[in-house]
Structure 1
């Protein structure tokens, strides 16, 4: 493993997603209808947003693509809220526009994620909005320190993005009964 870190050919897996429970608790107080999660795009593993490199090492999703990671995070959150129903007429679709963890800095790493979210009820589009989240975390010049920190940050980046979505009144209104 140490040799792989030095040569930059190791592959790392993003950590499992964990929700921001305070945000979900706030969302639980809203009269939200049952929600389905449509497919999150792009599904092509070769798409640039589905490929993250950490100083020559690849960061992969435990679900195959980062689009599927986001899809599973949405499903997990809606299940936690007890509003998830794959057959619901209200559906959330998403397209990842930007998705990156940057550990090229000497002391600081950053993450950026931008996602276009659409909410449909039947054939009516109730929301089409782009959300962006950024994170900043302590990193290091040493790859053996920076790479695991970048790997660990991915879950925080997705949580930060979804927090912005869930706190947006336009998104809440689109999901209301």
Structure 2
């Protein structure tokens, strides 16, 4: 009888640890798209998104991996978010002379707190034209939200805040005077 209980508990623990949390689908920001539409540009392509270290490709929320609905990992999620908003603003062009590349330095969510959770994303964006960097700047966003000791509250709260962090980070990029200047024709 004890063996059955032990095996059952082990199976439950294995099943729970194998589960992941899906990040919400990135729906974009009306404000971000409005900001992009103000830029008089013939368009831009999105190039390479890379991770500064392997660890930033994966986010775990209380040991549950955050799964991206947009590709294999959260780097793909970040790339999708940029492409989505550029497309909505009419600026995404695969054949454009200017290309946006990005290196993700930090990509973190912490839902371990009993009262609050927090997250941080830090990305260096580059704009390349004719093989030369014409823009390079790093943007960082931090966010804090109400959380709980209870995982059933803390994990969804953390995953639902991730797209808001991405939205805020991209808003900083789109609002940067130097970025606007290099995209403008």
TM-score norm. by structure 2 comes to: 0.87
Quote the residue 2:4 is aligned against: none
Do 1:9 and 1:56's aligned partners in 2 also have CA atoms closer than 8 Å? no
* TM superposition shift of 1:151: 1.3
Do 2:78 and 2:166's aligned partners in 1 also have CA atoms closer than 8 Å? yes
Quote the residue 1:55 is aligned against: 62
Deviations 1:12-59 (A, max 9, x none): 11111122212321221221231000021139xx91011111112111
Quote the residue 1:39 is aligned against: 48
Quote the residue 1:75 is aligned against: 83
Instruction: For 1:33 and 1:120, locate their aligned partners in 2 and report how far apart those are by CA, in whole Å.
Output: 15
Instruction: Pick from 154, 175, 179 the counterpart of residue 167 of structure 1.
Output: 175
Do 2:39 and 2:183's aligned partners in 1 also have CA atoms closer than 8 Å? no
Instruction: Pick from 80, 100, 107 the counterpart of residue 92 of structure 1.
Output: 100
Instruction: For 1:53 and 1:153, locate their aligned partners in 2 and report how far apart those are by CA, in whole Å.
Output: 14
Aligned positions of 1:133-144 closer than 5 A: 133-144=141-152
Do 1:33 and 1:90's aligned partners in 2 also have CA atoms closer than 8 Å? no
Question: What residue ranges of structure 2 are gaps of 5+ in the alignment?
Answer: 1-11
Instruction: For 2:155 and 2:38, locate their aligned partners in 1 and report how far apart those are by CA, in whole Å.
Output: 39
Instruction: For 2:79 and 2:56, locate their aligned partners in 1 and report how far apart those are by CA, in whole Å.
Output: 14
Larger radius of gyration: 2
Instruction: For 1:32 and 1:114, locate their aligned partners in 2 and report how far apart those are by CA, in whole Å.
Output: 26
Q: How many residues align?
A: 173
**What RMSD, in angstroms, separates the aligned Cα atoms of the two structures?**
2.0
Instruction: For 1:173 and 1:124, locate their aligned partners in 2 and report how far apart those are by CA, in whole Å.
Output: 16
TM-score norm. by structure 1 comes to: 0.90
* TM superposition shift of 1:135: 1.2
